[in-house]
Each structure stands twice: as structure tokens, then as C-alpha cells.
Amino acid sequence: MEYTNTLEFAKKLDATDPLSYLRDEFHFPEINGKPALYFTGNSLGLQPVNAKEYINEELESWRQLGAEGHFQGKRPWFHYHKFSKESLAKITGAKPNEVVAMNNLTTNLHLLMVSFYRPNRISYKIIMEAGAFPSDMYIIETQVRYHGYDPGDAIVEVKPRKGEYCLRNEDIIKIIRQNAGSTALVMFSGVQYYTGQFFNIQAITRAAHDAGAYAGFDLAHAVGNVILKLHDDEVDFATWCSYKYLNSGPGNTAGIFVHENHGQRTDLLRFGGWWGHDEQKRFLMEKGFIPMKGADGWQLSNVNVLSTAAHLASLAIFDKAGIKKLREKSVNLTGFLAFIVNEPGSDQISIITPANPEERGCQLSLVIHKKGKEVYDYLTRNRVIVDWREPDVIRVATVPLYNSYEDVYRFGNLLHKALTV
């Protein structure tokens, strides 16, 4: 798409955007009585207007039915984890039985590693990206220690080349090959939280399998943002949270993917709970754990219904919009942002996110070379909500569900002003 940095151009794009109606389905935060320019959907997605209604429906069921709500009402709680499957499957490129919403991301990653990180003296390493999100670093460090290995030896980090921020796919593949045989697990994020780089999930998974390792992904910044093909790419397992691009509310339920190659296996060790137990026999309260087939067999507890209601509310919007259409708009919206940031005269800023749309989602990470914090503060004073990361990075996410081209234009205008004050 050819861009022009004018308000008229932005307005024209909004007028012809088939998804522009979705903006009204979200509540925008207000600052001093005026709506904010919100670009932090990578951290916490906005509240869907229908969330209240979905939560109220469950409050009503609880009020009117009490325990009978498990089997009666519009969405009986006994089946609650099933109501998100179709939508999550579409968003992640999975089959419905390969996905389930449960727990929180960090908990899920530990649970999945119980099954998929089974180190032995020959094969015990985990290959991951350097500079991963802290929770992922701690998960992997403590898992390695739990099994009696030394993190310094067992964790192999792939680092950017000198002077670069992002990882080169060829470097990732090379390190996996070099550690073939001694690697038990390759664990990456889908979209890197700091740089916004979208890793090549298919290539990483293939290389992991060729090296005799499992491939797992933390999709916190990828789900609802980029096109995923977890089933076809033969990813072994993945997990994500639902409060970033999935707009389900702070700390809300996460999700997991387990490839059907593994979901049918009964030999995989796991930590069991009654909600993962054979549904037909769940209330017989008998000894002997029989896991459900598919991802459901990793569930532990019954569903946190009140908050998961908000998850369903948001997924209903994704169903209406369709992830492919959202991604098409997303590429154009982020392209517009990149165009504006790169305007002549903006050599005070570098975009560290890959320039190729296929290697990024909707987030751009901007390094502000001088007085970054002052630029950030100027933006904040002007009702812009973006995210500041020490020492000099501003992360901006243009979310196709609720951001407009006009938002992007206005942001660019304020950014250029901030650089000249």
C-alpha cells in the first residue's frame, strides 16, 4: 500500500475499512474526559462492550440456579471450557480438540513442561531466545533445576548478532543443529515481546524435530495478532494468555495447544486433576486417572466461569471479524505507522522490529536515541497510552480491532512534535 502522511489520507482509509465498525465494540480509556489514543493492546487489550453482558449472564445463572447452573442455563458450567474451543482453534490454526482455555500462562507452561521436558543425561538442553520475557526465563531456569541440571549448562540462548536486536532465523536453526541429540526442548516465543519479531514457527519446529527435540511456543504476543498454523506446523505444544490481543481482561484465563499427535497418547506423563479426567466418569469419584483425549486431558480444575465469560465475549468479536481479515488490516495499519515513523527527519528514532511484515505482528518497538523518557512523557501528557521499556524503547501496538488509521496519524503527529520540543 502507498501511504501519505496526512489526516485526509488516514480518514479516507478509515472510511473504506470494512472492519472500522469494530471500534465501537470496545471501551476506550479516558484521560481528562477525552478518549485516549490507545496503543497498548499488546499489554492489556481494551474491554469489549459485550463483556459486562456475558459476565452478568453468569451472575444471573448463579443467582437463579445455584449449583444447578452446572447443567442448566444458557452456558452450563460443566461444559464451559468447550465454548471457546471453536474460536480458539480458528485463531491458532488448530483443531478444536487440540486447544483448551485454562489457568494462567505461567502455570500452563510449567504443566506442559512436565509432559514435554523429560531430560536425561544425554538429552537435557533447552534452546530458547536470549532476552525472553522474565516469567519464561524463570520457568525454564526452575524447571531445569527441578530436574537436577545446571541452568548454565542446560539452557542454550540464541542471541542477536553484534549491533542487532532481532534474531536471524538461520542463527536459530544453526544452534538447534549444533545441539542436536543433546537438546530435549526448543522453546521460543511466537512474537517477541520486546522487539516485536515474529519468529518462523514452522522452521523452528522442523529444526527441533530434526534434532530429536520437542518444539514449544509461548504465544502471549502472537495469539490474536498474527496468523498461526499450529496444527499444520506440527508444533508440539503452546500456551498463551488472553488479556493482551485477546482482550479478555487483566489476568484472565490462558489457553493451551497440544498437537493431536500427543493428545491421544496415554504414555505422556502429566500432572492430573479431575477436570482432565474422563468426562463420562468424572463424577464417579473413582481412583485411577484416565485423561481426556486432546488438550482437555491437561486441565486440572473446573473453569473460573465469571472471568472466562469475558473471554467468550471477546472471542465472539474475533469470530465476527475473522482473524485473516484482522491480519490484513493489521499489516496495513502497522505499515502506515512504520511509514510515518520513518518520515525524513526522524533519524532520532530507529524501528528495531523487522521491516518485513511477515516477520512482525502489529507492534513496532521504537528506539528513541535521545531523551527517550522525555518523548514518552510528552506523549503521555497528550493522552497517548504507549509502553515505555528501559532504557530507550517505546512499544506501540496498532490493534486492527479498535485502532484506526486516524489514531496512527495522530500518534505520528504527536511523536514528531515530541522530538522537536
Ligand X SMILES: *Cc1c(COP(=O)(O)O)cnc(C)c1O
Q: Summarize as ranges the residues that interact with ligand X (CB under 6 A).
A: 104-106, 133, 135-136, 189, 193, 218, 220-221, 241
> Minimum Å distance from CB 421 to ligand X?
32
Q: Which three cell numbers stand for residue 256?
A: 493451551
Q: Which CB sits closer to ligand X, 135 or 169?
A: 135
Q: Rank residues 111 and 211 by Cβ distance to ligand X and give the closer one.
A: 111
Question: Based on CB atoms, which residue is closest to ligand X, 75 or 360?
Answer: 360
> What's the CA dihedral at 266, 272, 274, 279 to 10 degrees?
-20
Closest approach of ligand X to the CB of residue 252, in Å: 9
**CA distance linking residue 311 with residue 305, whole number of Å:** 10
The three cell numbers locating residue 336? 502506515
Choose between 207 and 223: whose C-beta lies nearer to ligand X: 223
Nearest-angstrom CA–CA distance, 63 and 135: 38
- Of the two residues 193 and 318, which places its CB atom closer to ligand X in the complex? 193
- Residue number, 106 or 299, with CB nearest to ligand X: 106
Contact between 81 and 296 under an 8 Å Cβ cutoff? The reply is yes
Q: Give the shortest CB-89-to-ligand X separation in angstroms.
A: 21
CA separation for the pair 18, 9 (Å, rounded) = 16
214 to 166, 329, 379: CA distances (angstroms) = 23, 33, 43
Q: How far is the CB of 401 from ligand X (least distance, A)?
A: 18
CB of 250 to ligand X, least distance (A): 10
- Shortest Cβ 254–ligand X spacing (Å): 6
Query: What would the DSSP string read from start to end of 126-161?
Result: EEEETT--HHHHHHHHHHHHHTT--HHHHEEEE-PP
Integer Cα distance of 278 and 103 in angstroms: 19
